């Protein structure tokens, strides 16, 4: 069947805009620090990403689908290898050191996991409503998440679970059952905050079930009760279960002024940088918070501060507009290309991209605890940049072959 070779500019333009934003912000954040080589490394990774995008763009979609499990196994082997041979940086054994470059296999493993999960869920023999198939579907992302947790890298571990819900629901899993399974976990995690948060979430679940069914069944009451009890117990013993630095992050998230010169320092300085940018920003290379290095290593997780300070509200809004355009275009492709593997793969990519943006910007403005999640296409990091560019390259491949994929 005839292929369409026209490039999808709705993906290419926002992708280019985000990469340019990232390069400018990295250059500004490293200007005069002796770390300017990071800009050239990121530029090199961007060129490598373009090469991979081109290769994937012209590849056969059937080859990608048929070898999804092989990509997944390679990703798992890399995660095992990095635990044995990897370089320890900032307390995490997450990188392979190759000359001047560091490679983080978890970023590639996330993409491979999405492909493998999409391959399994799109198989005609898979019935996601059956317990054995559901357990297999959950195991596919759980294995790499466990290996990443051993590094330990909590932020990347959490993002590994970000696409599970979306993908299994799209595959036909009952969202009501998923809600029953998910809420006890949410109540348990909420135990790190306070009793009001736990009680509020339990009330939301209670009300939702009441509206749906008019009356409660015994298993529903057990779900709410077990979740509420686990949340209260975790709240009581959180200090004993969590490591000191983890508790410190949570405490400073709730009240950054409790440790303004320590764990709360970055969060406070990030807010100052963002608010000082105003409407038009202070100008490229003119941000005082950025140029005076008030935020350590601001070219990574806190790079949004650089953009907001130097380019202001207009620059931050344009950045978010690029993300919105990219995500909406991917969602459009999900509903336009009638191919189950494509739909599930793109849904996983959308969920992963969305959660990265929400967590990164959320922790920068103080809405989410700092857990170390990069801003896609913008934060310094070659593995993240290349992995996300591969994702977009695959989406462009789907668009190019949409006539032969749709049926």
Mean pLDDT in residue range 210-228: 63
Mean pLDDT in residue range 243-259: 59
- Cα angle vertex 127, ends 125, 129, to 5°? 175
Q: Cis ω on the peptide bond leading into residue 227 (within 30° of 0)?
A: no
Six token digits for residue 315: 């620059």
Neighbours of 268 (CB within 10 A): 18
3-state secondary structure of 340: helix
**Residue 364 falls inside a structural domain:** yes
Neighbours of 271 (CB within 10 A): 15
Residue 209 has pLDDT above 70, yes or no: no
Per-residue pLDDT at 401: 86
Residue % of the chain over a pLDDT of 90: 41
Per-residue pLDDT at 373: 86
Mean pLDDT in residue range 64-84: 94
Neighbours of 297 (CB within 10 A): 17
Q: Which residue has the higher pLDDT, 47 or 102?
A: 47
Per-residue pLDDT at 242: 56
Q: Which of 254, 283, 257 is nearest to 368 (CA)?
A: 254
Q: Annotate 218-278 with DSSP letters as a single string.
A: HHHHHHHHHHHHHHHHHHHHHHHHS-HHHHHHHHHHH-GGGSTTTTTHHHHHHHHHHHHTT
Per-residue pLDDT at 2: 42
Q: d(Cα 280, Cα 240) in Å, to the nearest integer?
A: 47
Contacts 24+ apart (CB under 8 A), 168-173: 168/121, 168/128, 168/134, 168/137, 170/121, 170/343, 170/344, 170/347, 171/121, 171/122, 171/126, 171/128, 171/137, 171/344, 172/128, 172/129, 173/128, 173/129, 173/134
Per-residue pLDDT at 3: 47
Six token digits for residue 251: 């405490």
Tens-place pLDDT, residues 371-389: 778 999 999 988 899 999 9
Q: Which residue has the higher pLDDT, 237 or 276?
A: 276
pLDDT band at 291 (very low <50, low <70, confident <90, very high): confident
The helix or strand, by DSSP H or E, that contains position 79, with its residue range, turns out to be helix 68-85
**Residue 4 falls inside a structural domain:** no
Q: Which of 315, 286, 268, 265 is nearest to 32 (CA)?
A: 286
Mean pLDDT in residue range 50-59: 93
Residue 179 has pLDDT above 60, yes or no: yes
Contacts 24+ apart (CB under 8 A), 323-332: 323/14, 323/18, 323/353, 323/357, 323/376, 325/10, 325/13, 325/14, 326/11, 326/14, 326/15, 326/18, 326/353, 326/392, 327/353, 327/354, 329/8, 329/10, 329/11, 329/14, 329/395, 330/11, 330/395, 332/10
Q: Which residue has the higher pLDDT, 197 or 51?
A: 51
Residue 324 has pLDDT above 90, yes or no: yes
pLDDT band at 235 (very low <50, low <70, confident <90, very high): low
Residue 396 has pLDDT above 70, yes or no: yes
Q: Which residue has the higher pLDDT, 103 or 132?
A: 132
Mean pLDDT: which of 91-105, 242-256, 285-299, 346-360 is highest?
346-360
Mean pLDDT in residue range 210-214: 60
Q: Which of 250, 130, 134, 112 is nearest to 190 (CA)?
A: 250
Mean pLDDT in residue range 242-262: 59
Residue 260 has pLDDT above 60, yes or no: no
**Residue 46 falls inside a structural domain:** yes
Instruction: Quote the domain boundaries for residue 354.
Output: 9-405
Per-residue pLDDT at 211: 62
Mean pLDDT in residue range 106-132: 92
Q: Annotate 28-75 with DSSP letters as a single string.
A: HHHTTTT-THHHHHHHHHHHHHHHHHHHHHTS-HHHHHHTHHHHHHHH
Residue 196 has pLDDT above 70, yes or no: no
Mean pLDDT in residue range 166-192: 74
pLDDT band at 257 (very low <50, low <70, confident <90, very high): low
Mean pLDDT in residue range 308-335: 95
Mean pLDDT in residue range 300-306: 90
Per-residue pLDDT at 407: 42
Residue 69 has pLDDT above 70, yes or no: yes
Helices and strands (H and E) in the chain: how many: 18, 3
**Residue 1 falls inside a structural domain:** no
Neighbours of 1 (CB within 10 A): 8
Mean pLDDT in residue range 89-112: 80
Mean pLDDT in residue range 76-93: 84
Residue 394: alpha-carbon gap to chain centroid: 18
Buried b (16+ CB within 10 A) or exposed e, 160-195: bebbbbbbbebbebeeeeebbeebbebbbebbbbee
Total number of domains in the chain: 1
pLDDT band at 127 (very low <50, low <70, confident <90, very high): very high
């Amino acid at each position: 069947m005839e292929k369409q070779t026209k490039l999808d500019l709705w993906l290419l333009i926002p992708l280019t805009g985000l990469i340019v934003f990232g390069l400018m912000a990295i250059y500004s954040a490293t200007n005069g620090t002796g770390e300017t080589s990071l800009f050239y490394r990121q530029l090199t990774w961007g060129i490598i990403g373009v090469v991979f995008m081109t290769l994937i763009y012209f590849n056969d979609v059937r080859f990608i689908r048929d070898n999804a499990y092989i990509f997944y196994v390679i990703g798992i082997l890399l995660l095992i290898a990095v635990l044995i041979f990897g370089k320890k940086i900032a307390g995490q054994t997450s990188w392979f050191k190759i000359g001047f470059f560091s490679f983080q296999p978890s970023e590639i493993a996330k993409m491979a996991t999405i492909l493998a999960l999409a391959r399994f869920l799109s198989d005609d023999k898979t019935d996601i409503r059956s317990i054995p198939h559901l357990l297999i579907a959950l195991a596919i992302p759980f294995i790499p998440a466990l290996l990443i947790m051993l590094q330990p890298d909590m932020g990347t571990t959490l993002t590994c679970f970000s696409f599970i819900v979306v993908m299994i629901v799209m595959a036909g899993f009952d969202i009501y059952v998923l809600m029953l399974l998910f809420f006890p976990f949410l109540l348990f995690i909420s135990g790190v905050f306070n009793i009001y948060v736990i009680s509020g979430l339990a009330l939301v679940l209670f009300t939702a079930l009441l509206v749906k069914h008019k009356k409660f069944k015994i298993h529903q009451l057990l779900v709410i009760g077990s979740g509420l009890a686990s949340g209260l117990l975790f709240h009581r013993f959180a200090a004993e279960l969590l490591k000191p630095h983890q508790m410190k992050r949570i405490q400073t998230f709730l009240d950054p002024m409790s440790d303004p010169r320590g764990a709360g320092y970055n969060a406070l300085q990030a807010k100052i940088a963002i608010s000082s940018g105003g409407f038009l920003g202070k100008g490229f290379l003119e941000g005082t918070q950025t140029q005076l290095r008030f935020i350590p290593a601001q070219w990574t997780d806190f790079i949004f501060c650089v953009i907001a300070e130097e380019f202001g509200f207009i620059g931050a809004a344009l950045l978010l507009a690029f993300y919105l355009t990219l995500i909406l275009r991917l969602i459009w492709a999900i509903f336009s290309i009638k191919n189950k593997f494509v739909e599930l793969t793109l849904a996983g990519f959308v969920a992963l991209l969305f959660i990265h943006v929400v967590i990164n910007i959320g922790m920068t403005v103080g809405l989410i605890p700092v857990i170390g999640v990069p801003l896609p296409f913008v934060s310094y990091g070659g593995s993240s940049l290349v992995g996300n560019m591969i994702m977009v390259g695959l989406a462009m491949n789907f668009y190019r072959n949409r006539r032969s994929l749709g049926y």
